[in-house]
Structure 1
Amino acid sequence: MNTPLPLRFVMSAPGVAELPASPAEIAVVGRSNVGKSSLLNALAHRKDLAKVSGKPGKTRLLNLFETDGGTIVDLPGYGYAKVSATERTAWQRRMQRYLVEREPLALTLLLVDGEVGPTGLDKEMLAWLRANEVAFRIVATKHDKVRSSKRERRRRDLASGCEVAPAEVVWVSAEKGVGIDRLRTLVRDTLTGR
């Protein structure tokens, strides 16, 4: 195992204007319940860094974590139905403003549930990222939930659904540690400009 990322929670901000300066930044986006908090905890090898909730839609602000070389921002999950349409639209605007306006943003990690594959909302998000020329990498979560006999086909299908090559998708399991080292290396290299 390579060294855990020394992540430290800094603040929750209602919008991009309230975030402090950063030398380089990575954003984490994905559908509600895709496992963003669990993944941040796995990267730091801690259980209590990001709050994991049984209820999706808990992340409503931009949550900023500091690490070597820069910062990571956990954005509100999209697609959660149990809030008003007005609130959902406000979350979406906040996220899109951040992704377009944040100067130090170097990479966006788009988390896709590896068990179910890209949903319509994931594909919308991908199209939006491409249209706005936001650099991204796809991270497929819940690797451990995909049966080993179906993994190779799922890898191909998920990559095809996201219109990327299978090698471009980083498969991870926060629970089992699969792919976490590879993702830590990607984060470090992005933030330190290697």
Structure 2
Amino acid sequence: MPTSPPAPDEPGPASRPLRADALRNRKRILEAARAQIMERGSELSMDDIARSARVAVGTLYRHFPTKTDLVAATLDVYLIEVAEAMENVLAQPVSGKLAAAGFRDLWFGFLESTSDQFVFKEAAQQLGIDPHGSENQKRTTAALTALLVAGQESGQIRPGIVADDIYLLMSTMPAGRPAPERHRWAELVLPAIMRT
């Protein structure tokens, strides 16, 4: 039988800064949640996540009072990873041409994890989580926009391509198809973004 969340008067994560052990627990919980989301989608089990993270169920609920809170936090981690990947390309002290090459690498990197992305975002949507407008989504969009502008200034990326166009294309990725077919799709779509 699932354990109930802590009583409302118990201290929550926002009541004071997290200690080092609490930060480690939070990291383990998020890693366990991510793995289970990829396996079960929105049907993830809080009890199973606690066991996998090697924390008490009460500890899990103190960090994340609801399943929605947990999935939203895991989505935030994913968005930060995406933003950092693009920011790392932009941080290289080179011309826009390499920024465009970095975009190509990112494009195929997204493709490699497209199945995970599909499951993850579907789980978030089923729980009513909309990342649009969140600070981490804004950071991701800002990095993507800067990367596209750098590529356009070098003539490597077609003019007029904006972040929303990339999101639209990514939403059509054939996540459920075999890897060779996904790769072929990416090759077919890329000329619409980049000059060959």
Instruction: Work out which of the two has the higher radius of gyration on C-alpha atoms and give 1 or 2.
Output: 2
TM (norm. structure 1) is: 0.28
TM-score for the superposition, normalised by structure 2? 0.28
Which has a greater percent of strand?
1
Higher RCO (CA-CA < 8 Å; seq separation 6+): 1
